[in-house]
């Protein structure tokens, strides 16, 4: 078959919509259109931070909020709000995870990471505390992943460190 014949067949497939339908079906399956997930944390109602260092007092509950936004708006300040009308690709969810696992839910598709929350919307958040870490000193890392219905990671956020010290 010559190049001209291949081009003619390709043109016929495109003009009849066969190729376009296949390509759009593949695109609808699970290819994220956004290229980022922003993850931040804060204490009480303070400013959203890129990292935290917290004093661990085992007899006291120390809370903090984590929030992630898929395809965050191009604003200067993080607000923990998705862009107006934003939606995750069909069949996907966002998952908030912690490493080491601590008291989070262990999942076979995330070795070494424990699941804390999931969302089918373009943002996921949780109020957490030292109890989810098991009251352990050291560095805990948090991430958010965008996953398809089979649990495959399609996109990941920045890894957010929280240091627990004396």
Instruction: Please tell me the chain's helix, strand, coil percentages from 3-state DSSP, rounded to the nearest 5.
Output: 15, 35, 45
pLDDT in tens, 99-109: 999 999 999 99
Class of 34-165 in CATH: mainly beta
Q: What is the DSSP code string of 56-81? A: --TTS--EEEEEEEES--S-SS--S-
With a cut of 50, say whether residue 158 has pLDDT above it.
Answer: yes
pLDDT in tens, 79-96: 999 988 899 999 999 999
pLDDT in tens, 129-139: 999 999 999 99
User: Cα angle at 67 between 63 and 161, to 5 degrees?
Assistant: 70
Residue length of the chain? 166
Structural Rg of the chain based on CA atoms: 21
Query: CB-side exposure of 42: number of CA atoms within 13 Å?
Result: 11
């Amino acid at each position: 078959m010559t190049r001209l014949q291949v081009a003619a067949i390709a043109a016929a497939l495109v003009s009849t919509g066969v190729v376009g339908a296949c390509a759009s079906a593949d695109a609808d399956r699970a290819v994220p259109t956004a290229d980022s997930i922003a993850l931040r944390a804060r204490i009480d109602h303070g400013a959203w931070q890129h990292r935290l260092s917290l004093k661990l007092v085992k007899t006291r509950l120390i809370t903090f909020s984590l929030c992630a936004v898929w395809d965050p708006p191009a604003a200067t300040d993080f607000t923990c709000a998705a862009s107006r009308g934003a939606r995750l690709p069909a069949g996907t969810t966002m998952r908030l995870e912690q490493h080491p696992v601590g008291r989070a839910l262990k999942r076979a598709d995330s070795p070494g990471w424990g699941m804390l929350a999931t969302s089918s919307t373009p943002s996921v958040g949780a109020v957490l505390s030292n109890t989810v870490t098991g009251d352990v000193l050291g560095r805990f890392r948090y991430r958010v992943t965008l996953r398809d219905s089979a649990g495959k990671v399609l996109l990941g956020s920045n890894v957010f460190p929280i240091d627990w010290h004396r």
